[in-house]
């Protein structure tokens, strides 16, 4: 099992930036896929961005061009740089780890506790 801990959330004005971090420990694997999801009040959890061990990335259309996912394999840490934030980006952000290259939450076996991102308009 992989343990994930997120950090970096907070309150920011629209147009601002935040960087989230997700540190992994435990049974990490070289072929593990790491992703970010988010969940706003009253809405389902939605995919945000994904990165494979190779560095290949994939983004939801709603964040493409504004968010960047990256990983430091030596530190088992994944980052989500969020620029040009909008009010609709407000949500609890979760990092996840799994073995499948997928955007479906049920494909991921390990989850962090979540970190709140609030964007004021």
Q: What percent of the chain has pLDDT over 90?
A: 83
* DSSP string over the chain: -EEEEEE--EEEETT--EEEEEEEEES--TT-EEEEEEE-TTS--EEEEEE-TT--EEE-TTTTTTEEEEEEGGGTEEEEEE-S--GGG-EEEEEEEESS--S-GGG--EE---EEEEEE-
Average pLDDT for 71-87:
94
- CB distance 93 to 20 below 8 Å: yes
**pLDDT (tens digit, 9 = 90+) per residue, 16-69?**
999 999 999 887 775 689 999 999 999 999 999 999 988 999 999 999 999 999
In this prediction, residue 73 has a pLDDT band, given cuts at 50, 70 and 90, of confident
In this prediction, residue 110 has a pLDDT band, given cuts at 50, 70 and 90, of very high
Residue 31's pLDDT is 60
């Amino acid at each position: 099992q992989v343990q994930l801990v997120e950090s970096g959330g907070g309150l920011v004005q629209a147009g601002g930036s935040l960087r989230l971090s997700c540190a992994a420990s435990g049974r990490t694997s070289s072929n593990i896929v790491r992703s970010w999801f988010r969940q706003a009040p009253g809405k389902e959890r939605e995919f945000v961005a994904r990165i494979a061990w190779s560095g290949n990335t994939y983004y939801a259309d709603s964040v493409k061009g504004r968010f960047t996912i990256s990983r430091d394999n030596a530190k088992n840490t994944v980052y989500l740089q969020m620029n040009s934030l909008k009010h609709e980006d407000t949500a609890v952000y979760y990092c996840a780890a799994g073995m499948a290259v997928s955007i479906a939450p049920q494909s991921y076996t390990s989850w962090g506790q979540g970190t709140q991102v609030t964007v004021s308009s």
